[in-house]
Amino acid sequence: MNEIRRVAVVGAGQMGSGIAEVFARAGLDTIVCEKDQTALRAARGRIDRSLHRAVDRGRIDPTDRESTWAHLLFADDLEALADRQLVVEAVVEDEAVKNDVLTTLDKVLADDDAVLATNTSAIPITRLGIATGRASHVLGLHFFNPAPVMPLVELVSSLHTDPAVLERVEGFARNTLGKHVVRSRDRAGFVVNALLVPYLLSAIRMAEAGHATPADIDAGMVHGCAHPMGPLQLADLIGLDTVEAIAQSLYAEYKEPLYAPPPLLSRMVEAGQLGRKTGQGFHPHRKA
């Protein structure tokens, strides 16, 4: 198998644009694919702001920023991805939407050895893989937000994933992207979210019951447990709609009460209060 150099990201929201930046900063030929030009302009804006922050904080220099842009191309048609060796699907956390994208990509990719990766936070990879004709080349490659900063990637194989494909992508993530890789079996939530989401839901239930304010809950965990941010701040960062979707996947798989989305979370999602991406969640935010 050839070295992976031609990559793409489908879906350039908060996570997808960050993954695309990681790829381009690694010197990879990267295509960012979105549904229309409006979404692509928003993606360019996210990447531009992220690169400027990276320069301001000394993580990269201005030359690195310019070289990153030189490795980025933008497209609003999946057909443009025909020659890619690896495509990461990073669309909304909805199984039907993801299956539709993966089914189309399966038909578009010209190389039989091309890998389809999903950035799903919780949906079992087996269910996504069987939507394609190349389940042996489908796996989970789960980045964490913000992808250019967070070092971890979860690598998830399904019952169908070819071990050689898994080894190839792990080497790519470690050696080309410089990420720390942990492997997980194909279970809802994988490693991190299976542990993290019950903690977030517990904090939401505490706020819902009026035991403490969101500010005090977060301050307790930051100053009492040395967490970098509190659970409700973290839920806002992830996106409350994403937290709810992960919780629903976990509850569907395990049927344990600790995974069930609290009513307050569901009401906030229905109200469009999704956290940083909308400017309001458990805390007010400048809209992303």
Catalytic residue among 119, 193, 244, 249: 193
* 8 Å CB contact between 10 and 91: yes
Catalytic residue among 21, 142, 170, 244: 142
Cβ within 8 Å of residue 204, ≥6 positions away: 231, 232, 235, 262, 264, 265, 282
Half-sphere exposure of 1 (CA within 13 A, CB side): 20
Annotated active-site residue 119? The verdict is no
* 8 Å CB contact between 72 and 16: no
Annotated active-site residue 193? The verdict is yes
Annotated active-site residue 93? The verdict is no
Give, for 89, the enclosing helix (H) or strand (E). strand 86-89
**Whole-angstrom distance, CA of residue 30 vs CA of residue 70:** 9
CA 88, 93, 95, 98 torsion-angle sign: negative
Half-sphere exposure of 271 (CA within 13 A, CB side): 12
Catalytic residue among 17, 99, 121, 157: 121
Annotated active-site residue 154? The verdict is yes
Catalytic residue among 34, 154, 170, 244: 154
* Residue 253: strand, helix, or coil: helix
* 8 Å CB contact between 123 and 98: yes
Catalytic residues: 121, 142, 154, 193
